[in-house]
């Protein structure tokens, strides 16, 4: 879409602007005029900025406010259409306002009650999703039809809950079940600024999570809700396909094959995931652009080749159009079978645009396809913006398309004879793989560093050697297996698929085992990621020389990653665990088997490669059966295990943590984090300064008062300045 620049833009009016500013304005207008064809690519960027602004708010805005802002922006856009800079500024405001409004509407549409208390519940409902992780462990998402607490029916019950099932349980999507479970609110961040699982659960209408107390009992004769019928049928089909794959390919080979085919990743063990991450091949098991492209491209090539064998068809009809139609049908079926993750939907939309352009005999602009796909997803699912897979998928795709748009001609080789083809084609093929891997890897590394706190060193090597077995063996065999499965002939193609997967995993194990295959990265400010992303977008979208300014922004963002918040003490929300920083700067926790997940996340955010058991050795702590104490920068920290220790530690501790309520005054501690305080504020990070200064940051501060944050949460910040002073709320 091209926009004509209005006449007279950039002229100085009224003599108010200096000559320098006028010259700069004219130069900027000229640059923008030359980049007209790229203006549309910024639309999803500013639409996403509006969504980001919505999620950054500390309190939930009214729908009328978001709607009013959208109408105001629209009126400004209409009034300013005759002047370039006014036109661009109001267009940006309009896009951001539309994104803000879309996010608010999405939040209102998915609104559902969330559990506020943890306890034993009796529940009935329909299984929407069932994933078997091991022989004795599974996970299910259940849509509730009844929920009882203390034998009383709850009127405001969650729409669905996520439950871990133990024992030999055999369920299928659509089964009506009844059982008892320990349920509570969706998990909250384990530290200030940590991943908010409760927010992700809110947009899935999951209002509780926990584990079963009894074996699920199937209820016969229950009719499914009308909207679950097609979804249940599809989920059951995916489950049956996964079972047949695992029956033909036992072990982790079958689990990976099921992940590639129907998106089932619950059965992958930690060792396999570690090897895939360390080798840069983890993207293989997440169905996205690679898989969609291989399926669509394979079907397109095969159908066109077959049609070319029949002159009566090839001479009368467009084989490109027929092959494109067949490929579009095939990739649509694969999207449905894969579970339609965000990355897969993004890839599908791009491929659909390309094939529709072929069917209509129109050219398809690839980077515009990326923008269209991103905008479509953000309009329908604005919360996708904060999804890790969405961020990494679009970053890699945009970088690849822009890179090939700019330098693709250097990777293309036209052989004049067979000798040149045999000599140079492999070189260009290997070079293309290396460039593709390096480009995609550089694009996703900032997100990997921010979310997962790791950088992958040998991703190019892992993809160069481990990618071809998947591209040329596993994926073609998967397509054949899906076609042959209704006839019971899938065994041979699945065996071939297993060969490709085993070859890839052998490479992943070798490459992942190389010294320095992963580099830990300590948590850095979100602002650094934003600056890097802004610089990357500037570099990718524009075509003229001023695009190199994006490199400068990326450099500033990379420099900002050196800023690390390193609290001296971390406390989990349930007061089950406290970790303190020793003299070497490493976190140390008392000996415990509880809250290992929280400790693991703390270590990752710290850039520490130790396992939780290696950090929970009790180093520096002194423990008895009632409490554990440790000195941190001259302050005594006490973690109480039994009420017997409260009286003594109230007299000597500077910081007191206890998993029970403090019923009477406790004069000595400068800070008391009991069950009630942690219930209100969430996990805490404590930074100790000189003297008696301490600052406590609670996880609730970053969450705000939002629909996914329970109403009991308070946004408070504490500061203890002088001995004897009460904490000051900020």
| Mean pLDDT (10-residue bins), the chain, 730 residues | 44 57 82 88 96 94 95 92 85 96 96 89 93 83 93 90 89 92 92 91 93 93 87 89 92 93 86 90 80 87 90 84 91 88 78 83 74 90 90 88 79 69 71 78 90 88 87 92 92 95 94 90 94 96 92 96 91 91 93 81 92 91 92 92 88 90 81 87 89 82 84 42 33
How many C-beta atoms surround the C-beta of residue 371 within 10 A?
22
Residue 131 near residue 111 (C-beta atoms within 8 A): no
What is residue 705's DSSP assignment?
A: B
How many C-beta atoms surround the C-beta of residue 712 within 10 A?
12
The structure tokens 């996914």 sit at 708
Within 453-525, where are the H helices? 459-469, 475-484, 491-512
Q: Are strands 454-456 and 217-218 parallel, antiparallel or unpaired?
A: unpaired
| Distance of alpha carbon 686 from the chain centroid | 28
Strand order in the sheet with 684-688: 587-588, 578-581, 569-571, 684-688, 694-698, 717-720
What is residue 564's DSSP assignment?
A: -
The pLDDT value given to residue 15: 53
153 contacts: CB under 8 Å, gap ≥ 6: 146, 147
Burial class (CB within 10 angstroms; exposed 0-12, middle 13-18, buried 19+) of 87: middle
DSSP 3-state helix, strand, coil percentages of the chain (rounded to 5)? Answer: 55, 15, 30
The pLDDT value given to residue 137: 86
Residue 327 near residue 359 (C-beta atoms within 8 A): no
Could you tell me the CA-to-CA distances from 415 to 121, 408, 433, 587 in Å, in that order?
A: 70, 16, 19, 60
The pLDDT value given to residue 728: 32
The pLDDT value given to residue 413: 64
User: What does the block give as tokens for 502?
Assistant: 């085993």
475 contacts: CB under 8 Å, gap ≥ 6: 260, 291, 294, 295, 298, 500
Residue 627 near residue 219 (C-beta atoms within 8 A): no
The structure tokens 């530690």 sit at 649
Q: Where are the beta strands (DSSP E) in 572-614?
A: 578-581, 587-588
What is the spatial distance between Cα 102 and Cα 209, in angstroms, rounded to a whole number? Answer: 28
The pLDDT value given to residue 560: 96
The pLDDT value given to residue 595: 64
The pLDDT value given to residue 249: 94
The pLDDT value given to residue 167: 82
Residue 671 near residue 677 (C-beta atoms within 8 A): no
In angstroms, how far is the first alpha carbon of the chain from the final one? 49
Q: What is the reported pTM?
A: 0.87
What is the spatial distance between Cα 393 and Cα 53, in angstroms, rounded to a whole number? Answer: 21
CA dihedral 385, 391, 397, 403 (to 10 degrees): 110
């Amino acid at each position: 879409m091209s926009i004509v620049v209005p006449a007279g833009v950039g002229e100085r009016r009224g003599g108010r602007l200096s000559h320098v500013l006028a010259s700069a304005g004219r130069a900027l207008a000229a640059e923008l005029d030359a980049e007209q064809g790229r203006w549309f690519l910024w639309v999803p960027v500013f639409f996403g900025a509006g969504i980001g602004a919505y999620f950054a708010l500390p309190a939930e805005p009214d729908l009328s406010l978001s709607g009013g802002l959208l109408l105001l922006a629209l009126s400004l856009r209409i009034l300013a259409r005759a002047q370039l800079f006014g036109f661009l500024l109001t267009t940006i405001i309009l896009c951001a306002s539309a994104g803000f409004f879309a996010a608010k509407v999405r939040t209102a549409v998915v609104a559902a009650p969330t559990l506020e208390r943890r306890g034993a519940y009796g529940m009935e409902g329909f299984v929407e999703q069932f994933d078997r992780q091991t022989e004795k462990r599974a996970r299910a998402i259940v849509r509730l039809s009844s929920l009882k607490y203390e034998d009383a029916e709850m009127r405001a019950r969650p729409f669905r809950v996520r439950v871990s099932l133990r024992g030999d349980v055999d369920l299928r999507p659509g089964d009506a079940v009844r059982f008892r479970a320990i349920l509570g609110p969706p998990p909250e961040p384990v530290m200030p600024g940590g991943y908010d699982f409760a927010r992700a659960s809110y947009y899935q209408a999951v209002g509780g999570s926990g584990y079963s107390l009894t074996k699920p009992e199937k209820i016969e004769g229950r009719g499914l809700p009308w909207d679950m019928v097609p979804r249940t049928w599809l989920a059951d089909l995916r489950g049956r396909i996964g079972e047949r794959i695992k029956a033909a390919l036992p072990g982790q080979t079958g689990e990976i094959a099921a992940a590639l085919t129907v998106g089932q990743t619950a059965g992958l063990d930690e060792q396999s995931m570690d090897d895939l991450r360390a080798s840069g091949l983890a993207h293989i098991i997440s169905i996205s652009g690679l898989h969609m492209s291989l399926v669509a491209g394979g079907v397109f090539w095969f159908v066109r080749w077959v049609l070319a064998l029949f002159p009566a068809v090839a001479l009368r009809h467009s084989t490109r159009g027929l092959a494109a139609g067949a490929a579009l049908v095939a990739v649509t079926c694969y999207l449905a079978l894969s579970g339609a993750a965000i990355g897969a939907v993004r890839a599908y939309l791009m491929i659909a645009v390309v094939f529709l352009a072929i069917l209509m005999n129109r050219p398809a602009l690839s980077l515009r396809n990326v923008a269209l796909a991103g905008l479509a997803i953000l309009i329908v699912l604005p919360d996708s913006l904060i999804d890790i897979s969405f961020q990494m998928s679009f970053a890699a795709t945009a970088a690849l398309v822009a890179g090939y748009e700019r330098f693709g001609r250097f990777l293309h080789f036209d052989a004049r004879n067979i000798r040149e083809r045999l000599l140079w084609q492999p070189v260009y093929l290997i070079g293309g793989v290396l460039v593709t891997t390096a480009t995609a890897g550089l694009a996703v590394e900032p997100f990997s560093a921010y979310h997962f706190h790791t950088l992958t060193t040998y991703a190019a090597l892992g993809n160069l050697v481990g990618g071809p077995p998947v591209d040329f063996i596993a994926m073609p065999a998967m397509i054949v297996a899906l076609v042959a499965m209704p006839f019971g002939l899938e065994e041979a193609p699945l065996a071939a698929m297993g060969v490709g997967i085993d070859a890839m995993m052998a490479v992943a194990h070798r490459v992942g085992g190389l010294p320095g295959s992963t580099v830990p990265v300590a948590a850095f400010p979100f602002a650094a990621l934003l600056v890097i992303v802004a610089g990357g977008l500037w570099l990718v979208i524009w075509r003229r020389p001023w695009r190199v300014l994006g490199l400068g922004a990326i450099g500033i963002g990379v420099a900002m990653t050196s800023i690390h918040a390193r609290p001296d003490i971390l406390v989990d929300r349930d007061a089950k665990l406290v970790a303190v920083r020793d003299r070497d700067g490493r976190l140390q926790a008392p000996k415990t088997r509880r809250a290992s997940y929280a400790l693991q996340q703390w270590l990752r955010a710290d850039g520490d490669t130790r396992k939780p058991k290696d950090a929970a050795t009790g180093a520096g702590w002194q423990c008895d059966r009632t409490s554990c104490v440790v000195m941190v920068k001259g302050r005594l920290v006490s973690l109480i295990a039994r009420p017997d220790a409260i009286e003594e530690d109230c007299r000597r501790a500077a910081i007191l943590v206890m998993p029970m309520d403090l019923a009477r005054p406790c004069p000595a501690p400068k800070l008391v984090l009991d069950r009630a305080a942690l219930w209100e504020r969430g996990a805490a990070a404590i930074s100790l300064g000189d003297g008696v200064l301490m600052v406590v940051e609670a996880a609730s501060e970053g969450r705000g008062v939002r629909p996914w944050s329970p109403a009991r949460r308070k946004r408070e910040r504490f500061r203890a300045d002088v001995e004897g002073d009460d904490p000051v709320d900020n």
